[in-house]
Amino acid sequence: MAVETSNLFAKLKAHLAHTQAKFYQPDSSDYKQVEQCFIEKPVKTLGIVKPQNADEVAAVLQFCIRNNVKFSVRSGGHDCAARTLVNKTLVIDMRDINGVAISKDKQSAKVGGGILTGQVAKVLGEEGLTTPVGTIASVGYTGWSTLGGYGPLTSHYGLGVDQITGAKIVKARGEIQTADGELLVGIRGGGGSLGIIVELTIKVYPIDKILSSTIIYESSNLEAALTSYTQHYEGLLSTQMLPICLQLQPAIMQMPGQGVVFGIIANWHGKNKEEGRFWIKNIAGAGKCVMEATQETTVAKMLQNNEKLVTWPSYGRVFTLNVKKLTTKTIKVLARHCSDALGVFGTRARHHMLEIYAVVPDSSIVEERVRWAAQVKADLEMADASVQQHCQ
C-alpha cells in the first residue's frame, strides 16, 4: 500500500537520518524555487529530496521501492516535453551531486550525475580545458550528453554521447554499479533508462578561448533567406571546404523591432582565430547580412550569456526532428509557418536537427502555440521522407 502523503516525509527523513540529504516539502518557503523547471507544468509533487552522493541516491531509491512511492529524477529540468515533474511523485533532485575531478593527464574528467552544463564548463575552463556542451548553462549535463548532446563543439569532437567513457549508476533495486560493456553502451543514447546515473567519465580537450558570433540576414523574404544560406552551406559541404572547428547553428527567431529573422549562431574553437574570423565572414556572406557580432570568449561565458536569453518559467513544449538536408520542400514549410513563429531552432551534425519551440512566457496562449508547433512538425514530416522523429 502506498505511503500516505502526510506521513511520507517523516518516514523518509527517518530512513535518511544518517545522511546529509536535504528535504523540501510543498509547504516549505523555498519549495517553489527549488522545484522550478524551464517549462512550467501545473503538477503537485509529493516533495523533493536532494541526495549528496551515490549512497544517498541508493538509500532514497530503496525507500521508494519498499514503500511503493513513485519518483522522478531531475537535474537541470529542461526536458522538451515538460516531463521533469510528475503528479504525486517524489522528486529526486540530483543537482548537489556536481563534483568535477580532472585526470592527471588532463584528458578525461569524472563529473557528478547532477552537474549542470555551465558548472562543467566553468571548472574545466579554469584549467584551460573544455568538452562538448550544449548552449544553455542551466541544462543538466547528464541528460544532455546521454541522450545525444548537440552543441558548439560537436562538429569537431562529436556529440555529448561520444564523450562518455565510463559511468556509475544506481540500479533499480538500489545497487551501485560501475557501468561497462553493454550497460555503458545502453547509457550512451539511453540516458537514465537503465538506472540513476550518479557519475560520468568524459573526454576533455585543451581549449581556452573560442569565437562566438551572431549573424542575422535580411529576412523580409524568409524563404529566399533560407534558400540562399542552404545553397551556400551545401556548396561548402560538397567541396569539403567546411572546417571542423566551425559549428553553425541556424535559427528562425523573433527579434525586438525586427520581427521574424533568420540567423546563424556560429562558433569557432580552433587556435587560429584569424582563420575563424575569415570563416565567420564567409558564412555571413551566405545572404544579405544585416548584423554580424563576433567576440572572443570562453565556453563558460558563452553559456552564461545564452542563459540571459531564457525566460523562467516558460510554458508549452518543444518538438524535435532530424532531416538530412534542408530541401526546397522543407524550406517552404518553415518559411510558411515561421512568418509568425515564436522560434525555430536547428543544430547540425551531419544532419539538421530542428527544434520547434512552442515555449512562451504567457500561459494563456500556450495551447495555441503547441498546436502551431505540432502542425509545423506534421507538415515537415509530410514534405520530407528523410525525417527522423525524436521528442514526439
The pLDDT profile of the chain, 392 residues, written as one tens digit per residue, is: 345 666 888 999 999 999 999 999 998 899 999 999 988 888 899 999 999 999 999 999 999 999 999 999 999 998 877 788 899 999 999 999 999 999 999 999 999 999 999 999 999 999 999 999 999 999 999 999 998 899 999 889 999 999 999 999 999 889 999 998 899 999 998 888 899 999 999 999 999 999 999 999 999 999 999 999 999 999 999 988 889 999 999 999 888 778 899 999 999 999 999 999 999 999 999 999 999 999 999 999 999 998 988 887 788 888 888 888 899 999 999 998 886 543 322 333 346 667 787 777 777 888 888 888 888 888 888 876 555 555 44
Predicted TM-score of the model (pTM):
0.85
Q: Is 350 helix (H, G, I), strand (E, B) or coil?
A: coil
Report the half-sphere exposure of 190 (CA within 13 A, side-chain side): 14
Contact yes or no for 362/316 (Cβ under 8 A)? no
Euclidean distance between CA atoms 55 and 15, whole angstroms: 13
Contact yes or no for 97/115 (Cβ under 8 A)? yes
The domain segmentation of the chain, as residue ranges, is 5-93, 100-203, 210-389
Phi, psi of 221, rounded to the nearest 5 degrees: -110, 95
Contact yes or no for 99/113 (Cβ under 8 A)? no
CATH number of this structure's domain 210-389 = 3.40.462.20
Q: Which CATH class is domain 5-93?
A: alpha beta
Quickly list DSSP for 96-119. T---EEE-TTSSEEEEETT-BHHH
CATH number of this structure's domain 100-203 = 3.30.465.10
State how far the alpha carbon of 42 is from the alpha carbons of 88, 148, 361, in Å: 12, 28, 14
